[in-house]
């Protein structure tokens, strides 16, 4: 229930032209797609939980974006948003996910055995490996829209599910609002703690409401499997470790996710998923697998090569700084991960990371020896 | 150019406003009476009130002090006729726990009816914030007759500038936390229309935030007139920065002594100011300008939100009544270091701020000194309080210069 938009019926007294947002300075997917016609067609609609078009687009109206970086500019408030507002969201999904059509089907593959290799990335270059995704719990509305009661129910159900895990997944939950100082320091040192969102992309969508109520972090005793509860999505699931054994990280990721999903299903609250959009998450950019598999890798020479960005593009990879999205790289160390989310499976996306990083490390080694790497530049994947 | 904008609120449940504005027609606007407002229908509720009640244990604001689980349960499924809910009104207070030393209000109004529908919560908050003012039994005096002000010229060796500000809301349109883009644009249109009718020393020009040129922007910054997108979470968590900068702007007269902000924290903020100590002239212009603007909007069938219990209705409950802050920038190098300074200010019903406004620090020994109170006394009374109080402070400063001692004034009767 974000601000000012729940009284949708009252708003219909005003004409479309009077309510249509001024998007003349905007550069985001929503602004490129939303016309007065689409606005007029969708503005009197609501999802069953009462989420409206203006709710969907508020973050994109408030954040005009940057000429070089194209954000999505809209969010879903619940599973049904993707259906009720498909006239707006389908073209946005197509733009963001490489032409994905409303009739396309998304393949889910969480069988880690289907991954080839991935256990031999050179740890002299690959400092750490990580796979994350998000999951939404069916029957609840999403972070932009949910009420305190819902958020608390999501937390309660998630904690129940997670604390029943055993073996390598045995662990503990730390609610944000009752964390001790010692626990907080430890979580910061482990790079686990997430903070109240400050990005206006998130705050304008209402995702920081009531902070820190209902939010927390769960991790296993080995500190290799971590779940964020009620940040940008219901659950963010992360498997990580130092070094280059992406294969092991992916195994743990898949096994852990399946165990968690079983428990939620037993409680009649499986994950939001459908065969068109895959896993349904708050941001349309995370649909499909919601998966970002990546490494922190030292590429001081390759990263300054004229064709670095082109190589990444061909490998279907993206670079980020070591602080994550919208940060700069430090000391030639980059966060390299898959660029795609929707239209290919988890195994396929992690395979691209594994193969692509392996190739780039080889290229880095060649450059160290003063050799050229032009012959190694790959074809478009 | 008349827009086809019109609003009809259902009269079925005796809501009491019928506001019809067409091409130049006159409204039949009916003053809202408290007992006629009925909460509107269904608010989405999947969980009982106890599951939704916010965790306010770390909080220090007026809303947290007064929102009991019982009051929450009683009000949580109500909404104003426009659909504004309790959860929306309190969101800013839930998201901003506050500071042990500074007690903020912790809730806002989304429309005029908020003060009615959620009276069970707002009345005690108003009582706490406004010195025991009981809006169920008391009435608020409005007096904009500036001729009644006396001794309104300060010693300019001490007073550097004088300023009076207030806010006004346009009846029939939702307030900044809840307004739709169309409503916000209508506030802009109505106000700019009215301001265009001002003449003489009040004649001026409007600068829309969306269309300002770089040169205009720089000039407004240099004049200290430009307001920026709110960054304070107190405001952003209440939804007041939505759609920025759509329908926001600044109007000022050619002499740069009368200024109106449109669609910032309130529909309008009206400011009269000038360098030096002539508070009388500042207040004269303030009252004259306000009355002119009111006359202009009434000609078109609009009016300001006002009632005899709460005075002028504004977004933040702290600004009810007069919404008035009259103040000076005054140099008090000796007095400000005297340990009795705060007590003197308290007893004079004044507050100090830094020269950047609320929540800023003083620069050197120059302070912004203004009235503490807003509701329960009239504009004339409050500005007189500032005049008398600042004159007293200057007398103290002069005494200290001569090595004489000063006296802490008695608090006002009834405090």
pLDDT tens for B301-340 read 999 999 999 999 999 999 999 999 999 999 999 999 999 9
Question: Chain A contacts of B182, Cβ < 8 Å?
Answer: 11, 14-15, 18-19
* H-type alpha helices, B105-264: 114-117, 119-129, 181-195, 214-222, 233-236
> Has residue B34 got a pLDDT over 90?
no
The pLDDT assigned to B43 comes to 62
Residue B285's closest CA among B224, B198, B158? B198
B239 annotated as belonging to a binding site for a ligand? no
Residues A249, A130: Cα–Cα separation, whole Å: 7
B22 annotated as belonging to a binding site for a ligand? no
Q: What is the pLDDT of residues B92-139, one digit of tens each?
A: 999 999 988 889 999 999 999 999 999 999 999 999 999 999 999 999
Average pLDDT over residues B377-402: 97
B295 annotated as belonging to a binding site for a ligand? no
Q: How confident is the model at residue B356 (pLDDT cuts 50, 70, 90)?
A: low
Residues B30, B315: Cα–Cα separation, whole Å: 21
Query: Which residues of chain A are under the pLDDT cut of 70?
Result: 1-6, 323-324, 326
Residues B85, A73: Cα–Cα separation, whole Å: 26
Residues A213, A178: Cα–Cα separation, whole Å: 10
> Has residue B230 got a pLDDT over 70?
yes
The pLDDT assigned to A323 comes to 66
| Among chain B residues, CA nearest to A1 | B88
Residues B23, B9: Cα–Cα separation, whole Å: 19
Longest Cα separation, chain A: 71
The pLDDT assigned to A324 comes to 65
Residues B369, B367: Cα–Cα separation, whole Å: 6
Q: How confident is the model at residue B234 (pLDDT cuts 50, 70, 90)?
A: very high
The pLDDT assigned to A27 comes to 95
Residue A313's closest CA among A336, A329, A296, A287? A336
Cβ–Cβ below 8 Å for A153 and B246: no
Cβ–Cβ below 8 Å for B44 and A50: yes
- CA of A93 to nearest chain B CA: how many angstroms apart? 23
- Output phi, psi for B274, to 5 deg: -165, 160
Contacts of A234 (CB under 8 A, 6+ apart): A134, A135, A136, A137, A140, A142, A143, A154, A158
Q: How confident is the model at residue B354 (pLDDT cuts 50, 70, 90)?
A: confident
Residue B369's closest CA among B349, B347, B343? B349
Q: How confident is the model at residue B8 (pLDDT cuts 50, 70, 90)?
A: very low
The pLDDT assigned to A9 comes to 81
Q: How confident is the model at residue B44 (pLDDT cuts 50, 70, 90)?
A: low
Cβ–Cβ below 8 Å for A4 and B179: yes
The pLDDT assigned to B36 comes to 38
| Among chain A residues, CA nearest to B93 | A210
> Has residue B25 got a pLDDT over 90?
no
CB atoms within 10 A of CB B138: 16
Cβ–Cβ below 8 Å for B243 and A61: yes
Residues A235, B243: Cα–Cα separation, whole Å: 29
Residues B201, B224: Cα–Cα separation, whole Å: 20
The pLDDT assigned to A195 comes to 82
The pLDDT assigned to A198 comes to 85
| Among chain B residues, CA nearest to A61 | B243
Q: What is the pLDDT of residues A168-180, one digit of tens each?
A: 999 999 999 998 9
Residue from A10, A44, A206 whose CB has the most chain B CBs within 10 Å, to mutate: A10
Question: Chain B contacts of A58, Cβ < 8 Å?
Answer: 242
């Amino acid at each position: 229930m974000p601000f000012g938009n729940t009284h949708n019926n009252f708003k219909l007294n005003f004409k479309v032209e009077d309510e249509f947002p001024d998007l003349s300075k905007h550069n985001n997917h929503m602004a490129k797609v939303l016309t007065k016609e689409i606005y007029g067609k969708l503005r009197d609609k609501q999802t069953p939980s009462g989420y409206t078009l203006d709710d969907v687009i508020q973050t994109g109206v408030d954040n005009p974006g940057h000429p070089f970086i194209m954000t999505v500019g809209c969010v879903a408030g619940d599973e049904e948003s993707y259906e009720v507002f498909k006239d707006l969201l389908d073209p946005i999904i197509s733009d963001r996910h490489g032409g994905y059509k409303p009739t396309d089907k998304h393949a889910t593959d969480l069988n880690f055995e289907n991954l080839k290799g991935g256990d031999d990335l050179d740890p002299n270059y690959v400092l750490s490996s990580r796979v994350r995704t998000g999951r939404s719990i069916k029957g609840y509305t999403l972070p932009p829209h949910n009420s305190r009661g819902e958020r608390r129910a999501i937390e309660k159900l998630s904690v129940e599910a997670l604390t029943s895990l055993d073996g390598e997944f045995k662990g503990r939950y730390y609610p944000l609002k009752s964390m001790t100082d010692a626990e907080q320091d430890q979580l910061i040192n482990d790079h686990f703690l997430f903070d109240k969102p400050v990005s206006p992309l998130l705050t304008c969508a209402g995702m920081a409401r009531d902070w820190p109520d209902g939010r927390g972090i769960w991790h296993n005793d080995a500190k290799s499997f971590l779940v964020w509860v009620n940040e940008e999505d219901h659950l963010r699931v992360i498997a990580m470790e130092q070094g280059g054994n992406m294969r092991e990280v992916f195994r743990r990721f898949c096994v852990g996710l399946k165990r968690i999903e079983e428990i939620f299903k037993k409680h009649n609250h499986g994950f939001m998923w459908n065969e068109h959009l895959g896993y349904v998450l708050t941001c349309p950019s995370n649909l499909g697998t919601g998966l970002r598999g990546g490494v922190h890798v030292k590429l001081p020479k390759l990263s300054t090569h004229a064709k670095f960005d082109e190589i990444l593009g061909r490998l279907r990879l993206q670079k980020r700084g070591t602080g994550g999205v919208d940060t700069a790289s430090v000391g030639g160390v980059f966060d390299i991960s898959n660029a795609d989310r929707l239209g290919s499976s988890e195994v396929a996306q992690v395979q691209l990371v594994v193969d692509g990083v392996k190739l780039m490390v080889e290229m880095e080694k060649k450059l160290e020896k003063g050799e050229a790497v032009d012959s190694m530049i790959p074809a478009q994947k | 150019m008349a827009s086809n904008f019109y609003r009809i609120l259902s009269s079925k449940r005796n809501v009491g406003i019928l506001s019809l504005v067409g091409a130049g027609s006159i409204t039949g606007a009916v003053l809202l009476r408290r007992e006629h407002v009925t909460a509107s229908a269904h608010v989405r509720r999947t969980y009982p009130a106890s599951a939704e009640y916010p965790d306010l244990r770390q909080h220090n604001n007026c809303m947290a002090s007064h929102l009991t689980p019982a009051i929450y349960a009683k009000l949580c499924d109500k909404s104003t006729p426009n659909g504004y809910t309790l959860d929306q009104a309190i969101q800013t207070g839930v998201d901003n726990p506050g500071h042990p030393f500074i007690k903020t209000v912790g809730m806002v109004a989304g429309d005029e009816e908020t003060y009615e529908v959620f009276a069970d919560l707002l009345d005690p908050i108003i009582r706490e914030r406004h010195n025991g003012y009981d809006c169920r039994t008391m009435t608020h005096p409005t007096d904009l007759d500036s001729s009644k002000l006396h001794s309104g010229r300060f010693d300019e060796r001490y007073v550097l500038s004088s300023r009076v500000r207030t806010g006004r809301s346009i009846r029939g349109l939702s307030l900044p936390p809840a307004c739709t883009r169309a409503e916000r644009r209508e506030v802009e249109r109505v106000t700019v229309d009215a301001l265009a009718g001002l003449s003489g020393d009040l004649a001026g020009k409007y600068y829309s935030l969306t269309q300002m040129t770089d040169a205009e922007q720089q000039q407004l910054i240099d004049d200290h007139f430009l307001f920026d997108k709110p960054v304070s979470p107190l405001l952003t968590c209440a939804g007041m920065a939505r759609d920025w900068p759509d329908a926001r702007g600044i109007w000022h007269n050619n002499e740069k002594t009368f200024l109106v902000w449109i669609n910032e924290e309130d529909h309008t903020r009206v400011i009269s100011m000038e360098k030096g100590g002539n508070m009388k002239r500042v207040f004269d212009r303030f009252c004259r300008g306000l009355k002119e603007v009111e006359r202009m909007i009434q000609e078109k069938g609009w009016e300001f939100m006002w009632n005899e219990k709460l005075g002028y209705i504004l977004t933040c409950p702290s600004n009810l009544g007069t919404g008035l802050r009259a103040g000076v920038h005054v140099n008090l190098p000796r007095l400000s270091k005297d340990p009795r300074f705060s007590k003197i200010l308290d007893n004079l019903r004044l507050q100090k701020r830094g020269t950047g406004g609320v929540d800023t620090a003083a620069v050197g020994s120059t302070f912004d000194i203004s009235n503490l109170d807003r509701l329960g006394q009239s504009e004339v009374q409050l500005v007189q309080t500032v005049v008398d109080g600042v004159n007293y402070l200057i007398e103290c400063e002069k005494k200290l210069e001569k090595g004489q001692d000063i006296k802490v004034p008695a608090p006002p009767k009834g405090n």
